[in-house]
Amino acid sequence: MGDEEQSQEAKPKWEGKVSAGLKGPTAEQVWPLLEDFFNLHKVFPSLTICYGIEGVSGQPGCIRYCAGFSIPSTGHNGNSAVTHSWSKEKLVAIDPSKRTMSYEMVDSNIGFNSYVSTIRVLPGNEENGSTKIEWSFVLDPVEGWKLEDLISKYELGLQRMAKKVEETLA
């Protein structure tokens, strides 16, 4: 197989999963804060803006606009001078009885392609607290990033979100 043919093959997807334990609140208390698809900024500290732009919050097919500073944007033509990152995200599936939802990024300025994420709220145990939030993602490799660095960003973001959820429910 020639070099040209190899470069046109699809690269393997990046996959990551992080989790955070919460002390105190139950999964039943935590889920309503996360299923409020149009208001994630209330519990995700690095999001400054989140609002619905299409559909009804919590119904598959609805789309939200999010902006913040957790993932640096690439700006236009790779210009990293643009610091406010944004994305439009579509809710693709939600199951309140299992406390899980999946969404995909339909547009952004952060260089993510073919991005799908799933958030779950699970009952915890003695090791990880009374509740566990699990956040997983699958996407095409991102130019200029290492998968480990992206997973670290998600870990930090989820830990901050878990702390904010605990404070909100205290």
Q: What is the pLDDT along the chain (170 residues), one digit of tens a residue?
A: 444 444 445 679 999 999 999 988 999 999 999 999 999 999 999 899 999 999 999 999 999 999 987 666 554 444 445 567 999 999 999 999 999 999 999 999 988 999 999 999 999 776 656 899 999 999 999 988 899 999 999 999 999 999 999 999 98
pTM of structure: 0.85
pLDDT of residue 143: 87
DSSP strand E in 11-164: where? Answer: 14-22, 47-54, 63-68, 85-95, 100-108, 116-125, 129-139
Q: Which residues are catalytic?
A: 89, 103
Cα separation, 57 vs 61, in Å, equals 9
Cα separation, 25 vs 121, in Å, equals 11
Tokens read off for 113? 């392609």
Cα separation, 63 vs 55, in Å, equals 7
Strand, helix or coil at 162? helix
pLDDT of residue 124: 75
- The domain defined by 14-169 folds into Alpha-D-Glucose-1,6-Bisphosphate; Chain A, domain 4 (3.30.530)
